[in-house]
Amino acid sequence: MILSKSGWLSGIVLAGSLIASVVAAAADPIRIGIANFGEHPQLNASIAGFKKALAENGFVEGKDVVFTESHTNFDATLVPQMIEKLKAEKPKLIYTVTTPVSQIAKQQLAGSGINIVFTAVTDPVAAKLVPSWEAGDTGITGSSDLQDVAAVMEFTKKLLPEAKRFGVPYNPGEANDVAVLEKIKEAAPKAGFEVVPVGVDNVNDIQQRIASLKGKADVIYTPASNLLQPAIAAVSAAARQAGIPIVNSDDGAVRKGVVPASFAVNYEQVGMAAGKIAAEILKGKDPKEIPPFRPAYSDHSPLISKKVAGEFGIKIPAALDGCKCFAD
């Protein structure tokens, strides 16, 4: 077969176009959806850590990956719609922040081929996201923010040596809160605490429910609850009025002068753990082969505001003088 000069040129142009198309396709960044429950310092830190870890593992934002971020302002009824919108963009992976978002995403994305990496989930096994702490599930694994409640109680005893009754407000409708409460009940006898739980399923009930702990609790521990943490100022105000000091699960509230003390998981570290897992999945590893991350003791840190502690009537014990854990 003989080709004319114009035929050769056409072939060259066509081949060049095909090569350019292949190169362009190869250069397209990977799409990742981020489904957050709402704007909150802890959750935002987990997203920042996720992106940081991906970049450190070769997935730079804007070059190798692009993110579509969304949240529902803590409105659970809007989560299915958020997941569907992210799914429509056909991402390679969706990063789900908090237990409610992750549970809904697992249900809606089943069979879609879109992998899920979760974070800020206290107990992914109890939430039925993974079968055990030793393995992920089909298309899903991630990082937990499970606090070492025994360590929380140990710190609380150092701060408040005379405290014996451990008040725990929690949302009965949130799997995270229920899981934490059960772990607190397990650890309490050894720590010398009696647990005094109080259910709070509506922010409008915070004042009344916290007030009900007056005379019944010596300290209040507020877990990483999607209901309580966004309303921590209201919890603190009610606790102050009841004369009960607070140990919080988020150090941001200490830095802002809202609560006297915290023993908290570092949420940037939790997010970085999720980012490392996402990088493994993007490089071809099966999520089922990746166990969920659980924070170690070293991923926690205490923080105390001397000013707010004084306002709550807390006298800082001498044993904490050299702890390097003061915000002011």
Residue 252: both structure tokens together? 């941001």
pLDDT value of residue 27: 64
314 lies in the same domain as 190? yes
| 245, part of any domain | yes
Mean pLDDT of 184-206: 96
Nearest to 234 by CA among 255, 203, 261, 212: 203
Q: Do 141 and 167 belong to one domain?
A: no
Split at pLDDT 50, 70, 90, the class of 41 is confident
pLDDT band at 21 (very low <50, low <70, confident <90, very high): very low
Q: What percent of the chain has pLDDT over 70?
A: 92
- 314 shares a domain with 205: yes
Place of tokens 């959750």: 43
Between 190 and 226, the higher pLDDT residue: 190
Model confidence band, residue 297 (pLDDT cutoffs 50, 70, 90): confident
DSSP conformation letters of 189-204: HHHT-EEEEEE--SGG
User: Is there a single domain that holds both residue 138 and residue 157?
Assistant: no
* Same domain, residue pair 242 and 161: yes
Do residues 173 and 249 share a domain? yes
Q: Match 């579509």 to its residue by tokens.
A: 68
**Residue 124: which CATH number?**
3.40.50.2300
Helix and strand totals (H; E) in the chain: 11, 11
Residues 136 and 210 in one domain: no
Q: Could you tell me if 154 and 239 lie in one domain?
A: yes
Phi-psi region of 243 (alpha: psi -120 to 50; beta: other; left: phi over 0): left
Domain assignment present for residue 5? The answer is: no
53/116 same-domain check:
yes
Q: Is the pLDDT of residue 49 over 60?
A: yes
The two three-digit tokens of residue 281, written as one number: 């999945």
**Residue 69: both structure tokens together:** 């971020």
The answer to the question of residue 22 being in a domain is no
Name residues whose C-beta falls within 8 Å of residue 79's C-beta, 6 or more positions apart in sequence: 35, 37, 72, 100, 101, 104, 105
Comparing 315 with 15, the larger pLDDT belongs to 315
Would residue 9 count as lying in a domain?
no
> Given this model, what pLDDT does residue 176 score?
83
Range of the domain at 168: 149-265+300-320
Structural domain includes residue 38: yes
Query: Domain total for the chain?
Result: 2
One domain, residues 139 and 57: yes
Q: Which stretches of the chain are DSSP H helices? A: 5-27, 41-56, 79-88, 99-109, 149-159, 175-191, 206-211, 232-242, 252-255, 267-282, 306-311
* pLDDT tens digits along 87-122: 999 999 999 999 999 999 999 999 999 999 999 998
The number of beta carbons lying within 10 Å of the beta carbon of residue 113 is 8
Read off the pLDDT of each residue in 205-227 and give the average, rounded to a whole number: 96
Domain match, 73 and 95 both: yes
Q: Which segment of 6-20, 30-44, 173-187, 223-237 scores lowest on mean pLDDT?
A: 6-20
Residue 121 lies in a domain: yes
- Determine the 3-state secondary structure of 227 from DSSP: coil
Q: Count the neighbouring beta carbons within 10 Å of the beta carbon of residue 89.
A: 13
Is residue 212's pLDDT more than 70? Answer: yes
Least confident range of 2-6, 39-43, 174-178: 2-6
- The pLDDT of 276-289, averaged and rounded, is 98
pLDDT of residue 299: 85
Q: Are residues 100 and 177 in the same domain?
A: no
* Residue 54 belongs to a domain: yes
Domain assignment present for 261: yes
Average pLDDT of the segment spanning 311-318: 94
Mean of all residue pLDDT scores within the chain:
91
